[in-house]
Chain A
């Protein structure tokens, strides 16, 4: 199978280039990650992140034939050849497919991604009805792979100012949690022409999310709450 892979090692290369690989696959190679591991066994200078190989850790996000996704759950048979693989767009490249995710995590951290509840906890669990708990479905499953934010033009242009779909999804995850008491602070934190309102609902994030989550909907709900709060 033919692959064309973005290569760049600042230690060695003057500039990035695409390198072609022709790889003989085994019948057990089902996912793109299997092929990448095979390529690395032949050329150990090829660097990429990977860990769980089942789509839960979020390490191996990359741009695959023009679309962001996780290599470990992308089926080889569904890929057009040559398979063009590049690092996630919009993030600085460290080497090959490895990108610098500092800005992405900085935005995630900026939404205070933790439960805030300053009341004395009960001896047992805080109660939450199954219906209230269901509000967290579609939110808490985010694996922070950055496929979404790295597909979002608003995040490409303003990664320092726009929280981006992943961060906003997590902001709403805590707003939606009946146990959390900081909704007002969270809304204050986002009421800003850049942090929230750079989202123009083009929905690239929804299109690429490997977990099938919908950041645009969560962003819409935050906007709704801001409107409600102001009237």
Chain B
């Protein structure tokens, strides 16, 4: 089947924070850019971010980017690349001011500057005491940011392809990426988007877990595409469990609640974080708090009749602060847990939230693979930014508010790099088999007889990941998890759908998404089983300590043969002295 083809300078896949920040850069440079999104841009999952975006503006208390950098390196449990971390923290104030100039409705300090609140792991003076670094618009910072970026793109005349799902990358024999094949959901039309630059900004894949703060659309589409194209995924074993997902529902309750003065209680009414993190207490970094909560529950001090959750108390902040700074989470608590936090604590549990790993890139947003000599080699034509990318600024554990920052800094950087890499030359001829893979995937769904139910396969995948790859990981359970997820992956190759309509066929979309999710699940489980240490979000009972001598290195997982390789952490920053690994205490 010959596909219709359209040519662009750049195609951006995904219209969340990083995709739209990149698109803005490209559209304002008058490039011909196509932005593909499964959903209308303002429905992207950036919209659900609550607490803030990190930048050392110092509007409320003294701060600087060196402290922010230290916190981020420490938060990453020394797995983050220090060149990228320096770049991000140094650039943070600039991109936040820029966002304000775009019209972002930040809350304000009494003197009219951007309001900032404390957040987990953000400290003054190299870890001394908590600092107000999270720039916030109430508890709707992601909503405000995503809408602002969309609005700015409307102004710039960015061309959006709304409700298109990208299926696979186009690569030629030299490995250069030449664009994507995508399908319009409304009509089922499949089209080739040929471009000099392809920028993946497809977000996370929290939907590999049964209990997740993530939206239905967070299915790791960019990661699936990259894996099928033979490129590796990096550090996939590091998946963040957010301390405060609503018990039973998974919906996120921002760390900003604790930033504003809320705290966690066990069934005895004890503020147990004081035992685990004497200085930062409830504002220790997320891996530490989630583990402390899981320990309390495991040791029988959980709240409720099944002693299976923790209480987040904030009534002492007073109705006024809650209405002004945390109105969204009050709504969520009332709707999803029948609790008004003005009066009663919210039942919460650690919940799968954020993928630290992803598509390996450098800090320019270029996708890289090992060059065989211990360094990196750029994959021509391919870029990635945001949660789908692993720069790596988050290492083994991301700090709160560094995700929205990541979107702005690396969305912009990737956009700029696309512009500087752009060549004034005609598009290369496409290999005759370039679109075979996506067409074969669609054809299989069309003709599959007695297929596996998409709903059942994906539910089984989520159960396996939740059971075998959670906050605490055990060697036998991981080994069993690998076996089980390989079986699920087999089943995922035989999914079938009843719906054969061309028109807005969401059964087909969900089946295509499972193809992507299962790659992410495999990468996560297999990388986790192999890492014989505990670091950041990866906690193993048989190797309870961090092992820098053997494991201060990035994991690379390849789809073919589920092969693993490793590459060194970039411990050298761009302009400052490195932060040497030490024991993490909060």
A-facing mask of B473-508, CB < 8 A → 1, else 0?
Answer: 000000000000000000000000111011111110
Whether A44 pairs with B454 at a CB distance below 8 angstroms is: yes
Q: Is the CB of A56 within 8 A of B143?
A: yes
Contact with A along B449-465 (1 / 0, CB 8 A): 00001111000000000
A193 within 8 A of B: no
Q: Which of B105, B215, B504, B510 contacts A52 (CB 8 A)?
A: B215
Q: How big is the B interface, by class?
A: 35 or more
Chain A residues near B108 (CB, 8 Å)?
A: 128-130, 132-133
Contact B43 A58 (CB under 8 A): yes
CB of B498 within 8 A of CB of A54, answer no
Instruction: Check A189 for interface membership: any CB of B closer than 8 A.
Output: no
Contact of B335 among A55, A94, A95 (CB under 8 A): A55
Residues A57 and B47 in contact, CB atoms below 8 Å apart: yes
Do A56 and B47 form a contact, CB below 8 Å, given A45-B499, A114-B151, A127-B112? yes
- Other A-B pairs beyond A30-B249, A136-B105, 14, CB < 8 Å: A11-B503, A40-B507, A51-B39, A52-B216, A54-B332, A56-B140, A73-B335, A94-B503, A105-B40, A124-B93, A126-B101, A140-B144, A141-B140, A177-B103
Count class of interface residues, chain A: 35 or more
Contacts of A53 in B (CB 8 A): 215-216, 251
Q: For the complex, is A4 an interface residue (Cβ under 8 Å from B)?
A: no
Q: Say whether B501 contacts A11, CB under 8 Å.
A: yes
Chain A residue contacts of B106, Cβ below 8 A: 125, 133
On whether the beta carbons of B40 and A177 are closer than 8 Å, the reply is no
- Rounded to whole angstroms, the CA-CA distance of A47 and B507 in the bound complex is 8
> Are A54 and B48 in contact, CB atoms less than 8 angstroms apart?
yes
Q: A112-137 interface mask toward B, CB cutoff 8 Å, 1 = contact, 0 = none?
A: 11110100010111111110110010
- The contact of B215 among A43, A47, A57, A180, by CB within 8 Å, is A57
Closest to A75 in B: B335
Q: Residue A59 at the B interface, CB < 8 A?
A: yes
Once bound together, how far apart are the Cα atoms of A6 and B498, in whole Å?
19
Binding site for A on B (CB under 8 A): 39-40, 42-45, 47-48, 57, 93, 97, 100-103, 105-114, 137, 140, 143-144, 147, 151-152, 154-155, 186, 215-217, 248-249, 251-252, 328, 331-332, 335-336, 453-456, 497-499, 501-507, 510
Does B48 contact A56, Cβ atoms closer than 8 Å?
yes
- Write out, one digit per residue, whether chain A residues 1-22 have a CB within 8 A of any chain B CB (1) or not (0): 0000000011110000000000
Q: Considering the complex, which residues of chain A in the window 46-99 have a beta carbon less than 8 Å from any beta carbon of chain B? A: 47-59, 73, 75, 94-96, 98
Contacts of A50 in B (CB 8 A): 216
How far apart are the CA atoms of A141 and B50 in the complex, in Å?
12
Task: Specify which chain B residues have a CB less than 8 angstroms from the CB of A49 in the assembled complex.
Answer: 39
Give B115 Cβ to nearest chain A Cβ, in Å. 8
Is there an interface contact between A40 and B455, defined as CB atoms closer than 8 Å?
A: yes
Q: Is the CB of A94 within 8 A of B45?
A: no
Closest Cβ–Cβ distance, residue B569 to chain A (whole Å): 34
Find out whether the CB atom of A114 lies under 8 angstroms from the CB atom of B103.
yes
Assess the B40–A101 pair: CB atoms within 8 A.
yes
**Pairs A-B, 3 closest by C-beta atoms:** A115-B103, A127-B112, A44-B507
Nearest opposing residue in chain A for B42, CB measure: A144
B77 → A minimal CB distance (Å):
30
Q: Does A41 contact B (CB under 8 A)?
A: yes
Chain A residues closer than 8 Å to B506, beta-carbon distance: 40, 47-48
Q: Is the CB of B42 within 8 A of A51?
A: no
5 contacts between A and B (CB under 8 A): A28-B248, A40-B506, A52-B48, A55-B331, A126-B101
Residue from A96, A114, A130 within 8 A of B155 (CB atoms): A114
Cα A73 to Cα B503 with chains together (Å): 27
Given A94-B186, A95-B504: A45 touches B105 (CB 8 Å cut-off): no
A113, B107: Cα distance in complex, Å: 20
What chain A residues lie within 8 Å of B140 (beta carbons)? 56, 141
Closest-CB distance, A163 to chain B (whole angstroms): 15
Contacts of A125 in B (CB 8 A): 97, 100-101, 106, 113-114
| CA gap between A144 and B215 in the complex, in Å | 17
What is the bound-complex CA distance between A125 and B510, given in angstroms? 43
A9 and B501 contact, CB distance less than 8 A: yes
The docked-state distance in angstroms from the alpha carbon of A10 to that of B252 is 38
Q: Report chain B residues within 8 Å CB of A144.
A: 40, 42
A186 within 8 A of B: no
A217 sits at the interface (CB 8 A):
no
Chain B contacts for A174, CB-based, 8 A: 103
Tell whether, in the assembled complex, residue A114 and residue B39 are in contact, meaning their CB atoms are under 8 Å apart.
Answer: no
A12 lies within 8 A of B455 (CB)? no
Whether B100 lies near A126 (C-beta < 8 A) is yes
Contact between chains at B42 and A58 (CB < 8 Å): yes
Interface-centre pick from B47, B216, B252 (highest chain A CB count, 10 A): B216
Q: What's the Cα separation between A166 and B241 when bound, in Å? A: 36
Known: A44-B454, A125-B106, A128-B112. A113 touches B151 (CB 8 A): yes
Docked complex Cα distance between A174 and B57 (Å):
26
Question: B94 CB to closest chain A CB, in angstroms?
Answer: 9
B39, A140: Cβ atoms closer than 8 Å:
no
Contacts of A112 in B (CB 8 A): 155
A41 x B453 contact (CB < 8 A)? yes
Q: Which of chain A's residues has its CB closest to B332's CB?
A: A54
Judge if A226 is at the interface, Cβ distance under 8 Å.
no
The minimal Cβ–Cβ distance linking A114 to chain B, given in whole angstroms, is 4
Would you call A203 an interface residue if the criterion is a C-beta within 8 Å of the partner chain's C-beta atoms?
no
Would A9 and B103 count as touching, CB distance under 8 A? no
